[in-house]
Chains A and B, each alone.
Chain A
Amino acid sequence: MLLKMAWRNIWRNKRRTFITMASVFFAVILAVLMRAANTGVYEHMVHNVVSFSSGYIQVHQKGYWNEQSIDNSFKEDEKLYHLVSDQKEVTEFVPRLESFALASSDDKTKGVMVLGIVPDKEDKITRLQEKIVEGNYINSKDRSLLLSEGLAANLGLHTGDTVVLLSQGYHGASAAGKYPVKGIVHFGSPELNKRLVSMPISLMQEMYDAPDLITSVSLMMKEGADMEEVKKKLISVMDTAHYEIMDWKQMMPELNQVIEGDKAGDYIVIGILYLVIAFGVFGTILMMTRERMHEFGILMAVGMKKRLLAVVVMIESFLIAFIATLAGMIGALPIILWFKEHPIRFTGEIKKMYDSYGMEAIIPLSNKLNVFTEQAAIVFFIAIFLSVYAARKVYSLKAIDALRS
């Protein structure tokens, strides 16, 4: 009977109920869209950054990250590759050998980062081939290399020229080589653009006297995939006494800090939105409560306990909030799916800025389930929390005062 009463009560004044529901409905849509855009932008940014550098997750020999030396490299291992490729969220993985060297041409010498890559696999992740601004991309059998654009400019080199690399190889072996430049690559990251040399991994292993050795396996996943889950799974199946498994947040803490700092700003904006929502819903609940005081008095007079009356009022608020929140989630879904497929595209200066970092100038919307559920839950609980006011008001009523109102 109480549920029946509550259900019929909310439809007693259809217009009022629709107005309340509309305020919650649009609040949910707005909050979900805002969160979807924020999450989508971060996911896209992270995807871009990690695909140019670390990957979402890297596997190293234990201790490599603290002492990034070629001496902490490990043997390529088919079993490891199988474990990695067995994870269905992992879209690609690439072995890499990484070290440092001095690069010389004529009288110019620069400290550089040397990256041994499997060209075909690497291109799938970093789309390196698209970034060639001069010359051609390398293949795994080439005995030539790629220079980053800034480095080539600093050394005064072009394709076809030769660069000398000098370094220390595996376990103190001398490492030196003279290689032709096959291509020049533009990187969005200024840091990479001025110091990266990429060469076939086999060539680098030969130069560094590190046959079959690699320093990392980088894993790529779908944009927005649950990285923590994949990391957990890998830790559970891999020999963690021998390998360390790190995610991009550990490898690029500064990027994570930037995102977290930015998120704090988003929370303030979304907090203001919640506040506006809360006042709107509160106004309606207040109105609903005040205009029914006399009725509450009658119910108490005929013997309805205040507790039960408060329960009916809470059920009414729950039903309104639940229907409106559900409708809001359903309403937001097609909008998000549309913008997921047709993201908002920046133009002009903003596009140029994104392009300079090698990123697509778009705002993609995330369609992760938690974007819907979290925001809907927050708005829902705001409505329920505010309805506690109505319940408390009812609870503190005196029958005679309510009857006189």
Chain B
Amino acid sequence: MEVVIDAHNITKVYNEKSIPVNAVNGVHLHLERGEFTALVGPSGSGKTTLLNIIGGLDHVSEGQVIINGTDITNMSDNKLIDFRLNNIGFVFQSYNLIPVLTAKENVEFVMLLQKKSKAEREKRVLELLREVGLEDKVNIRPSELSGGQQQRVAVARALASKPQFVLADEPTANLDSKSASNLLDIMARLNKEENMTFIFSTHDQRVIDKARRVITLVDGKVASDEKR
């Protein structure tokens, strides 16, 4: 299988010069294409920090992160932005869509940054919104969409750039159970049909139940790694 994320001995220490806090402590992570993985653990266990590191948003204190064969450990901020644009999709807990853009524009925005042609953008945006069941909401702004609908737009946006994998930080935390279930079904389908790799950090048992691999973090260390 093709390795998408290969992280060795990941350590992240905050406040190194005052009172050091080890958020992640010597984590090894090896994820292959098409995995549907849940990162679980109590609050403060390092889930979000680990996601930020493998998402190229934060730097490690020690260790090495290789994404799809590229070592991003010491990449500059500007290069990381480019790298994220072309390799990583993000879904955030609070949706975080661009409020002034419509659903269609939000999804299209990432492709615009990739300088994709208008025709390609139009085609993919409509395709993605159809996949997340929002083809009738293309010209609606986020403030007029429900939480579940916003999160589905966020998923479409995460996939728009055709990333290597999607990182989702507590994607169902703000959703009611019906919306959460709907969203999970969509992501599971995309995982199955398009072989898209998903990594979630979550407390939600429904997400954990859907995951085919569950990595449990405790105090910044991998306590268990269960494949189903």
Q: Which residues of A contact B (CB under 8 A)?
A: 1, 4-5, 8-9, 12, 294-295, 298-306, 308, 398-400, 403
Grouping DSSP codes into helix (H, G, I), strand (E, B) and loop, the A interface class, with mixed when no group exceeds half, is: helix
B110 touches which of A300, A302, A399, A400 (Cβ 8 Å)? A302
B90 to chain A: closest residue by CB: A301
Is there contact, CB below 8 Å, between B100 and A303? Answer: no
Q: Which residues of B contact A (CB under 8 A)?
A: 52, 55, 57-58, 77-78, 80-82, 84-86, 90, 92, 96, 98-101, 105, 108-110, 112-114, 157, 161
Q: How many A-B residue pairs have CB under 8 A?
A: 63
A306 and B78 CA atoms in complex are apart in Å by 8
Chain A residues with Cβ under 8 A from B161's Cβ?
Answer: 303
A302 touches which of B80, B90, B99, B108 (Cβ 8 Å)? B90
Is there contact, CB below 8 Å, between B82 and A5? Answer: no
Is there contact, CB below 8 Å, between A398 and B77? Answer: yes
A300 to chain B: closest residue by CB: B81
Is there contact, CB below 8 Å, between A1 and B81? Answer: no
Is there contact, CB below 8 Å, between A8 and B100? Answer: yes
CB distance from A291 to the nearest CB of B (A): 13
Is there contact, CB below 8 Å, between A12 and B81? Answer: no
Is there contact, CB below 8 Å, between A298 and B78? Answer: no
A301 touches which of B78, B84, B99, B100 (Cβ 8 Å)? B84
A304 and B109 CA atoms in complex are apart in Å by 9
CB distance from B45 to the nearest CB of A (A): 18
Chain A residues with Cβ under 8 A from B99's Cβ?
Answer: 12, 295
B157 to chain A: closest residue by CB: A302
A34 and B55 CA atoms in complex are apart in Å by 56
Is there contact, CB below 8 Å, between A302 and B84? Answer: yes
CB distance from B174 to the nearest CB of A (A): 15
A102 and B195 CA atoms in complex are apart in Å by 113
A306 and B86 CA atoms in complex are apart in Å by 16
Contacts A/B (CB < 8 Å), 29 sampled: A1-B105, A1-B108, A1-B109, A5-B98, A5-B100, A8-B100, A8-B101, A9-B100, A295-B99, A298-B96, A300-B81, A301-B55, A301-B90, A302-B90, A302-B109, A302-B113, A303-B84, A303-B113, A303-B161, A304-B85, A304-B113, A305-B78, A305-B113, A306-B78, A306-B81, A399-B57, A399-B77, A399-B81, A400-B58
B167 to chain A: closest residue by CB: A301
A8 to chain B: closest residue by CB: B100
A300 and B98 CA atoms in complex are apart in Å by 12
A298 and B95 CA atoms in complex are apart in Å by 10
B58 to chain A: closest residue by CB: A400
Is there contact, CB below 8 Å, between A303 and B57? Answer: no
Is there contact, CB below 8 Å, between A304 and B81? Answer: yes
User: Given A5-B101, A12-B100, A400-B52, is A303 in contact with B58 using a C-beta cutoff of 8 Å?
Assistant: no
A147 and B57 CA atoms in complex are apart in Å by 91
A334 and B113 CA atoms in complex are apart in Å by 46
Is there contact, CB below 8 Å, between A305 and B82? Answer: yes
Is there contact, CB below 8 Å, between A303 and B86? Answer: yes
A300 and B110 CA atoms in complex are apart in Å by 11
Chain A residues with Cβ under 8 A from B81's Cβ?
Answer: 300, 303-306, 399
| Across the A-B interface, the 9 shortest Cβ-Cβ residue pairs | A303-B85, A8-B100, A298-B96, A400-B58, A400-B57, A303-B113, A303-B84, A399-B57, A1-B112
Is there contact, CB below 8 Å, between A299 and B77? Answer: no
